[in-house]
Amino acid sequence: MTDILPAVWLGIVEGLTEFLPVSSTGHLIIAGNLLDVTGPKADTFSVVIQLGAILAVVVLYWERFMGLIIPKSTMRFSGLRGLWLLFLTSLPASLLGLVAHSTIKQYLFNPIMVGLALGVGALYILFVEHHVAGRETEERYATLDDVTPRLALGIGLFQCLALWPGFSRSAATIMGGMLLGTKRSLAAEYSFVAAVPIMVAATGYDMLKSYHLFSADDLVFLSVGFGVSFLSAWVAVKAFISLVGRITFRPFAWYRLALAPAVLYFWS
């Protein structure tokens, strides 16, 4: 990993797609194959740059994350209660991912399975959008402070769908939140915040298993990918937040449906 240009491109792809319901992992697998950045080292690099995108969310929601450390009486989503809610959301996918990690890496991290996941995830988005259409008055949860343990665990169960690369963690959690009665904006915001603990855990786990693959010569490649991912994610999240209250997620589903057959045809 000496040419840093692939790191730049992969960082852009990761940052722009991590928090959109289009699957960052799926796009990274596709981009990695196009750029000929594949193999165990490339898979771990993809996880490392995801941490750059996650850091962008920590910075953007700094007050909320600080509230988890220093509780605020004006925020119910803070302190031990906030940590407990994030733990409940992270638990199902963490346990399932821990048990099935090797199987997922062996059988699902390839363009064909990504193409299938893109299509299935698109149908999932369209189903949820149809199901919640006209039900805005029935939404029970509007802000992070309205999140309950039951809701947090429910979203965590939906998050398990994201273990299929190409499905999209954001799609799984945002659509899951909407099905469970959250406002569209809260579903997106909680998806961003809840991404932090599970992605930090996934990154740490992967690095512990794969750090020996990297040498000092790879540090520049990793640093460039990490930094570009952070900046790209910052832009994507800011833009997404400004749009999420005014648009549906159907355009993302149509994009996925258009991309899925192209991926299956190209790699079949």
Q: What pLDDT, in 10s, does the model give residues 84-105?
A: 999 999 999 989 988 988 888 7
In the DSSP assignment, the letter for residue 252 is H
**Quick check: 137 pLDDT over 60?**
no
Non-local (6+) Cβ contacts of 2 within 8 A are 217, 221
Find the domain containing 112 and state its range: 5-267
DSSP 163: G
Mean pLDDT of the 191-202 span: 87
- Number of structural domains found in the chain: 1
Joined together, the tokens standing for residue 128 give: 């949820």
Residue 190 · residue 169 · CB < 8 Å: no
Q: Which of 163, 48, 29 is nearest to 104 (CA)?
A: 163
Q: Dig out the tokens for 175 from the structure.
A: 């659509």
Average pLDDT, rounded, for the chain: 88
Residue type, 202: A
| Residue 200: per-residue pLDDT | 84
pTM: 0.87
Band (2; pLDDT cuts 50, 70, 90): low
First to last CA, the chain: 28
